[in-house]
Structure 1
């Protein structure tokens, strides 16, 4: 199943995360390349916090999706960090999410090239051993 996440959906999600984080203080915001970068920039403007090039103590760390945990698990021990993703394919434990999606659902984000959906999906599933 393929779902399309629009810029309007993105803006609503940024607002949701900003409302959850507005009373917290962060040393900066880090967006996991590539999927978290758009979210990090939007939140940096919304929350008026610095965009940082690597995660540090007390930072807000964001990504587009939590699927296997491979990416965020490498960062979860950063002291005082808060984690947000737009989508989680499992019930969140130590991270926060805006949306929970089904394991088989493929999310197409507005910054992606829709002409490459099939190739992107195939490359991802091969790389992660999900076939």
Structure 2
């Protein structure tokens, strides 16, 4: 199952996250490469907080998707950090999400190359050891 996420939906997600964070103070915003970078830049402008190159205490850490947790779990213990993803494949526990998606749904983000999504998906599956 493939879902094509649009720029319009991305803009709405940025608005949602910005509204959830507008009264909070952050030391900066960190976007997990690659998927979180577009989101981090958009939120940096919207919330007027600096973009940082590594997550630090009291930072907002964002990514495009929470699937296995492998990526975000590496930042979980950063003191005072808040976490947001656009999509989560499971109900959030210590992170926040805009959307919950099905586990078998492959999301193609607007900044990705639509022609190459299948090879990206296959590489992801191979890397994670999924069948």
Give the alignment's TM-score, normalised by structure 1.
Answer: 0.99
Deviations 1:33-78 (CA, angstroms, capped at 9, x unpaired): 0000000000000000000000000000000000000000000000
* Structure 2 equivalent of residue 34 of structure 1: 34
Q: Aligned partners of 2:87, 2:53: CA distance in 1, in Å?
A: 22
1:106 aligns with 2:106: yes
Q: Aligned partners of 2:20, 2:35: CA distance in 1, in Å?
A: 20
* Structure 1 equivalent of residue 78 of structure 2: 78
Report the 3-state secondary structure (helix = DSSP H, G, I; strand = E; otherwise coil) of the residue aligned with 1:39.
helix
| 1:24 positional shift | 0.2
User: What is the aligned length?
Assistant: 131
Superposed structure 1 runs of 4+ greater than 6 Å apart: none
1:89 aligns with 2:89: yes
* Structure 2 equivalent of residue 52 of structure 1: 52
Q: Aligned partners of 1:19, 1:47: CA distance in 2, in Å?
A: 9
Deviations 1:16-35 (CA, angstroms, capped at 9, x unpaired): 00000000000000000000
1:4 aligns with 2:4: yes
Q: Aligned partners of 2:129, 2:81: CA distance in 1, in Å?
A: 29
* Structure 2 equivalent of residue 25 of structure 1: 25
Across the aligned residues of Structure 1 and Structure 2, the Cα RMSD in angstroms comes to 0.3
Report the 3-state secondary structure (helix = DSSP H, G, I; strand = E; otherwise coil) of the residue aligned with 1:77.
coil
